[in-house]
Chain A
Amino acid sequence: MAEHKTKYDRQLRIWGEQGQAALEKASICLLNCGPTGSETLKNLVLGGIGSITIVDGSKVEEGDLGNNFMVDESCIGQSKAKCVCSFLQELNDAVKAKFIEENPEELIKTNPSFFSQFTLVVATQLVEESMVKLDIICREANVMLIFARSYGLTGFVRISVKEHTVIESKPDHFLDDLRLNNPWPELTRFTETIDINVPDPVVHKHTPYVIILIKMADEWAKSHGGCLPATRDEKREFKEMIKSRMIAIDEDNYKEAIDASFKVFAPRGISSSLLHVINDPSAEVTSNSSDFWIMVAALKEFINNEGGGEAPLEGSIPDMTSSTELYVNLQKIYQAKAESDMLIVEQRVRDILKKIGRDTNSISKTKIKSFCKNARKLAVCRYRLLEDEFNSPVQPELQKYLTDDDYSIAVGFYVLLRAVDRFVTNFNSFPGQFEGVMDEDISRLKATAVGLLNDLGCNSSTLTEDLINEMCRYGAAELHAVSAFVGGIASQEIIKLITRQFIPMSGTFIFNGIDHKSQLLML
């Protein structure tokens, strides 16, 4: 146990015991264990994923020794799935590693129910037809799915999950929840007990900026008909007013107050993204609703009633120059308000559960508490079915990408990655896969790509000859460095999906290994 904690220390600091427990419970299925798939799994195995099942029907060839670290000389002629599996097992004996020697494309065709046993399927190096089929299978079985592919100096990663909701999104920079422009009665009362004009210089420079700003905002409002600073001039004047109260130049608390004065000007109420979440049709809950949406429904009621337009208070304050006593007291006031908001939301959750006929205790208090603490940062991610995207991509976006210089290579690769799959259906090999037919392949790939663009209702002139040549040059090569990059991205997204922390990527990530100007395409 202590060893477990030490071994995973550097990642526990990111996703905590809960995130780690989620990883250790997860079972992952990998389709195709070339370098892209192997590298994806390697990163997860090191982190202590619960179990892996590798599906690959091929045997190790000489060429595999040049791009896959999980196989070596002694593996030649043996099952690739078996060899990769045994190497991965060596990396972490806490992981349950299995393999199935079977062609994934066959498995998709013949045994669709196979996939329902997994938490998540990571499908690498599949062609379009198989991806579309697998996507539908996983969507119906409610299994998370992620596609990854490396192809020469390009590749892509695409998540496919019907809906992924996140409570602990842990954004990097997020405005503190201080309510400086909208203090609740206890905070106002506490502020009133403090005299910021106290003559003692030591006390004066240890008054926390929260108190200074609430007082100043109140003072300003009284002389401005109840309004807070709004125009640029008023904001400047407000800062000057704070500055004028300094009694020494080394008062860090006043400097902090000036720097934080924008928190007074920030609009009251909830953000547009949270508004979006509470107005989502899923917030109209039924007995089939997930815990997340039931809590959102309770949150919505809270905001519209007790919250007075605000979400439950987060309850923590940043560090600031202050005496210990004032800081600790202030902290307690914020905590108490957060606790009381949480209790109201909790009651509303229980009432909703009762109304929809579910066990009123089926959502734990800990979960509700975490939900309230993160209420302002909730995230909902939804992904289109691959089939829908392929048949009818979002036209305005597609048109934008096709005409925007920043996107020209990425969207070109997107089209060409699809075109090579049509190519292989028609000609039984990838363009440039074999020597001696390069010129022919280039013109064939061009015709295929033009046909594809026409099917999508797009002008084909945006695709450059250089990029078509480049795609043929790649000849479906799976380069190790590109695979490690693409696999790295895939494993990162898998971690976010499984821990339900942080926000997974949206759209399709197109890797551009030429100049690294990779892009996300929202199609």
Chain B
Amino acid sequence: MKLTFPHMGNMYIPVKGLLEYLDLEVVVPPFSTKKTLELGVKYSPEFACLPLKINLGNFIEARELGADTIIMAGGVGPCRFGLYAQVEKEILQDLGYDFETLVLEPPDKHFGQFIARVKRIIGSNSWWKVMEAIKFAYRKSYAVDMVERKVQKLRPLEKKPGTVDMIYKHALNSIDNAQSFSTLEEATSLSLLKLDQVPIESDREVIKIGLIGEIYTLLEPFVNLDIEKELGKLGVEVTRSLYLSEWISSHLLKNLITDENIKPFRDLAKPYLNYFVGGHGWETVGYAVGFSQEGYHGLIQLAPLTCMPEIVAHNILGKVKEDCQIPILTIYLDEHSGKAGLITRIEAFVDLIRRQLETQRRLAR
């Protein structure tokens, strides 16, 4: 049995950590590339949302490396994500690929069957070992996030462009390679230390932008065209509404672990949005208000084209923008999005923010 799973940014690090901790054989799909996307687009329904298409591409590429079993998260509505696993399975079947799938979701009908399938995959591992493995995976995701938050702070300040990202890449590798709790800790602190030593220009004016929106487009640099790196080059410090470990703790571990970084988005979203709308639409609106209260200079919303919860949020953000007096840029991404277009748009956006700051300063004088 060779296990695989879809990519979503750095997600592969904890997932691989989890499975390897249990001595299971893992095939990490090749990182998403243009080829992955092309494969996905070719075989997916035309109007499916972008994450589904890339998932599918990941599976096809993993298949070529011998994977035969898929593990992925699921859901029971109200958004499309809950049907991904089933629909992807059907498409793969039509292509002649027979995968076994294990969908992590609240089992609807057959709880026993679900447990049986989990057991089949974990084999002779004890439940205690499984708990340890989950803890290990969570720690990995937390380590990735700590490093990433620091990277986001340093990018706009580094003296020599590219230094931070080079260290970041190494850091991810060393976290990924850590096989035990102790090596993981070592790798993390070493990476943080290295980042602390990056030469910076601390008097540079940094623009703070909150990145909000749909999870996949937030976490996967391949689909968001490396927007964070590009913003860093423009002197922007980025904070996202969503980090990997937060999603794992809230979505997969049902909040067993509390995280001080998670904002009370439901309260913040009032009175603009008073109900869940699937996906991360509620978070998007809540974090928009939260970030602007914290004095962020601007917000960028990312979403796959046709993403329903984000369209709802987008419409509501118009009002937030007005009331909170904060510039907001919404960017929809699909298979036709290009980097040049993205850069033009964010450059114009950052320019606008800088000009506004300049005017404010002049008025204050």
A, B in one complex: no
Residues of chain A touching chain B, judged by Cβ–Cβ distance below 8 Å, are: none
**Which residues of B are interface residues toward A (Cβ below 8 A)?**
none
